[in-house]
Amino acid sequence: MGYVSTEYVQTLTLNLQEAKDAARIQQAIINQGLPGNNGALVTALGGVLLGLLSLVFKLPTVVSFSSGVTGTALGLIPSEKAALTNMATQGLIGFQNVVSLMAGTNYDLVEFDIPKIRFTHNDSSKNWEMATGNIRVRRMHSKSGGWILA
């Protein structure tokens, strides 16, 4: 069996460092994962906190995440791979926008909605997901306390 994909919107609350790490993971998916280079993806993600990988990308380990991404990429025809790369690039832009929104401001947390795609396999260790679109900010948290609606 191959992968079955599901698209949905996830609400996330991230601080600046978590948003930077999410962008780094998304960039690694584009650069190493979608070309099908499992070893390079594991190396690129080696320093990522597993909590963030689990929260944002729904995977328990870097190795299982890397296996899922590269396994999916290897099963795609070129036009499907190009479409998936484009979706991943849009997700990267979404995370970069969160970073830009927070950098140099008085905000320490941003809550936002981001479109995602989840790939499910009959071997659940190969399941993975990624961001696929731009963000919609819900609210921002001030370092001095309190949430501000966007």
Residue 142: its pLDDT value, please?
94
**54-58, 120-124, 129-133: lowest mean pLDDT where?**
54-58
Amino acid identity of 27?
Answer: Q
Cβ atoms < 10 Å from Cβ of 56: 24
Please count the helices (runs of H) and the strands (runs of E) in the chain. 5, 5
pLDDT in tens, 12-70: 999 999 999 889 888 888 888 888 777 777 777 776 665 666 767 766 667 777 788 88
Distance set, CA 131 to CA 51, 86, 143, 144 (Å): 17, 11, 27, 30
| Other beta carbons less than 10 A from residue 111's beta carbon | 16
Run of H or E residues at 108: strand 107-120
Q: Where are the beta strands (DSSP E) in 81-143?
A: 107-120, 128-131, 136-142
Residue with tokens 């600046």: 16
Give the global pTM.
0.87
pLDDT at 118 over 80: yes
Burial of 106: CB neighbours in 10 Å, binned 0-12, 13-18, 19+: exposed
